[in-house]
Amino acid sequence: DTAVSQTPKYLVTQMGNDKSIKCEQNLGHDTMYWYKQDSKKFLKIMFSYNNKELIINETVPNRFSPKSPDKAHLNLHINSLELGDSAVYFCASSQEGTAGGVGEQFFGPGTRLTVL
Amino acid sequence: GIQVEQSPPDLILQEGANSTLRCNFSDSVNNLQWFHQNPWGQLINLFYIPSGTKQNGRLSATTVATERYSLLYISSSQTTDSGVYFCAVRYSGTYKYIFGTGTRLKVLA
């Protein structure tokens, strides 16, 4: 059983299009994350939800909108795609305690987005 | 804010050699993880180690939080150890993880 899954694995699209990436975790965790990995392999957090509440919202263009319909799912919608959005997007989850917690993160396989 | 620096940035080893990777951070953290990103891009959990020492087969890790560093030891390296090794740290009271810049390891047969 896959613990953290993402769909699609690859996404190739034209500039200006709108696309979504979906993430699901079956670990029973209460916190989920989106990260972006650029071409130099640098991993940077974008968003995090704890119990469906947005708790981290980094400096990300507002063309990116996360949505968490329930604790097991976190989706990422991107409007008006630009060339610079090409990257690998990783979803992760962790189980947290109260007041920040100390949970161990587990990552999905990544979605490679290519904008032409 | 917290900076996370890893060294060396690149490392080439002959199969069977040992190595030590270092992660330095600039403030107190309450969580630290080591990951291996394999050549297929998967991020694999190696250690969850906010303090102390852990071992898992040929790999071990030590975190000295008071001195703001963590070390990952790889012994008897194999070609399958190739990839990028990341450490990720988190401040107390926050959910935000910050990743280091990574160490790119290549093990030659």
**pLDDT tens readout for residues B22-37:** 999 988 888 999 999 9
Give the model's pLDDT for residue A101. Answer: 52
Residues of A in contact with B102 (CB under 8 A): 41-42
Is A101 close to B98, i.e. CB distance below 8 A? no
Distance CA A40, CA A97 (A): 33
Distance CA A108, CA A73 (A): 12
Give the model's pLDDT for residue A96. Answer: 84
Is A31 close to B30, i.e. CB distance below 8 A? no
Q: Answer whether residue A102 shows pLDDT above 70.
A: no
Residue environment code for B84-93, b if the CB has 16+ CB neighbours within 10 A, otherwise e: bbbbbbbbee
Q: Answer whether residue A90 shows pLDDT above 70.
A: yes
Q: Answer whether residue A97 shows pLDDT above 70.
A: no
Asked if A43 is an interface residue toward chain B (Cβ–Cβ < 8 A), one would say yes
> Is the Cβ–Cβ distance between A95 and A30 less than 8 Å?
yes
Pairing status of strand B43-48 against strand A64-70: unpaired
Give the model's pLDDT for residue B3. Answer: 84
> Is the Cβ–Cβ distance between B86 and B22 less than 8 Å?
no
- Quick check: helix, strand or coil at residue A89? strand
Q: Residues near A105 by Cβ (< 8 Å), separated by ≥ 6? A: A33, A92, A93, A94, B33, B45, B88, B97
Which of A105, A111, A113 should we substitute to test contact with B (largest number of B Cβ atoms within 10 Å)?
A: A105
**pLDDT tens readout for residues A35-87:** 999 999 999 999 999 888 898 888 889 999 999 999 999 999 999 999 999 99
Q: How far is A82 from chain B (nearest CA, A)?
A: 23
Distance CA B85, CA B96 (A): 19
Q: Give me chain B's average pLDDT, please.
A: 94
Q: What is the rounded end-to-end Cα distance, in angstroms, of chain A?
A: 34
Q: How far is B103 from chain A (nearest CA, A)?
A: 10
**B40: its two tokens:** 């297929």
Asked if B85 is an interface residue toward chain A (Cβ–Cβ < 8 A), one would say no
Give the model's pLDDT for residue A68. Answer: 93
Asked if A60 is an interface residue toward chain B (Cβ–Cβ < 8 A), one would say no
Which of B95, B96, B98 should we substitute to test contact with A (largest number of A Cβ atoms within 10 Å)?
A: B95
Give the model's pLDDT for residue B1. Answer: 65
